[in-house]
Structure 1
Amino acid sequence: MDDNRRLAITFGVVTMSDKGSRGEREDTSGAYLQDALAGKGYRLAHYSVIPDKKDVIIKTLTSLVDDEKLSLIVTTGGTGVAPTDVTPEAMVEILDKEIPGIAELMRLESLKKTVHAALSRGKAGIRKETLIINLPGSLKAVRENLDAVIDVLDHAIEKIQGDEGDCGKL
């Protein structure tokens, strides 16, 4: 993807954290995602920290897609097995298509580092022309998971937005 096209990719970062939304915890994961994706040449269009509440997650993500028309939304937090972890349940309600391979790739790479990666329930998928990817909440896991999928983002976004070129390269 050329640099001009990459600059047209707008992204949002949404952190799901009850403590973070109350100002009781610094959002290092969200800050890392902003820097990493901006460093890739994407343009930050939204950042927020919201509580781990299914209805708030649905409303926030739906608005970012339907109203703001972002190309990419990356979330952090709410993907585990704690009672408050409801990000995957919110995703089921808003996605038009799931992309299981992205979530599988993140878990596969994370499992090479910790068996606890088996507890991650994050999803990835498409709503309209927006790619949405859920990452775990910890900074270490965010780094590992983003590293696992960062090389597929350009191609995925191009295809989601209607690129008709061939996927395979000779």
Structure 2
Amino acid sequence: MKAAVLTLSDKGARGERQDGSGPALQNWLAARGIVVIKSAIVADEHDQIVATLKEWADDGEADLILTTGGTGVSPRDVTPEATMAVLDRVIPGFGEVMRARSLEKTHHAMISRAVAGIRGRSLIINLPGSPKGAVENIEAVWPAVPHAVEKIQGSTRDCADVTSSDQR
């Protein structure tokens, strides 16, 4: 599986803050044998996010695109809206699981607006902007990610054929 990691941060894009969440996700993925083929930091600008997600999904290189940041409720948090603008299909379960798991750790999980879905042959998942939150959230949904990517890309294998290690 090949992945791309997009960090959304006004300060990071201006070079005023070092990105911690993007590298944390890249390290987490690498530890699982996932090749990160692209990474970038862009400002919390709807049009920039849309353009990057479209480019990365439409070039067909990334099976998985993770975004980090911009999923809260501040006026500059536009990642979910930008993501929804590019998705062909929404997969609500990813956001539901991430919020449920995060709620075990913080009440602030209730204000996460993270979404996930499909564009072309890519799975796109929004993650929180903190390194800890981003990793905890990808860990929460990871058991379903490889199978989802396989199905998105046309696998005709029956879901019942998934091995027990892929299941709960």
TM-score (norm 2): 0.93
Opposite residue 55 of structure 1, the aligned amino acid is: D
Residue 125 of structure 2 corresponds to which residue in structure 1? 133
Task: Please name the residue that 1:33 is paired with.
Answer: 25
SS in 2 for 1:164: coil
Q: Partner letter of residue 120 of structure 2?
A: K
Equivalent residue number for residue 118 of structure 1: 110
Q: Displacement of 1:168 after TM fit?
A: 2.0
- Measure, in 2, the Cα distance between the counterparts of 1:71 and 1:123: 17
**Separation in 2 of the partners of 1:67 and 1:154?**
20
What SS does structure 1 have at the residue aligned with 2:159?
A: coil
Instruction: From 87, 101, 120, give the equivalent of 2:93.
Output: 101
Aligned to 1:76: 68
Distance 1:92 1:15 in 2: 17
CA distance in 2, matches of 1:158, 1:93: 23
Q: Does 1:13 align with 2:13?
A: no
Amino acid at match of 1:133: I
Counterpart check, 1:24 vs 2:16 = yes
**Which stretch of the first structure deviates more once superposed, 62-71 or 82-91?**
62-71
Instruction: Output the CA distance in 2 between the equivalents of 1:161 and 1:68.
Output: 10
1:161 counterpart residue number? 153
Unaligned runs of 5+ in 1: 1-8
The one-letter amino acid of 1:143's match is V
Stretch of structure 1 that moved more, 83-92 or 142-151: 142-151
Checking the alignment, whether the CA contact within 8 Å between 2:25 and 2:131 is kept in structure 1 is: no
The amino acid across from 1:78 in the alignment is G
Greater than 6 Å deviation, 4+ residue runs: none
In structure 2, the gaps of 5 or more residues are: none
How many residue pairs match? The answer is 162
Letter aligned with residue 157 of structure 1: V
Greater shift in the superposed pair: 67-76 or 80-89: 67-76
User: Percent identity, aligned pairs only?
Assistant: 51
Pair 1:53 & 2:45 matched: yes
2:54 aligned residue:
62
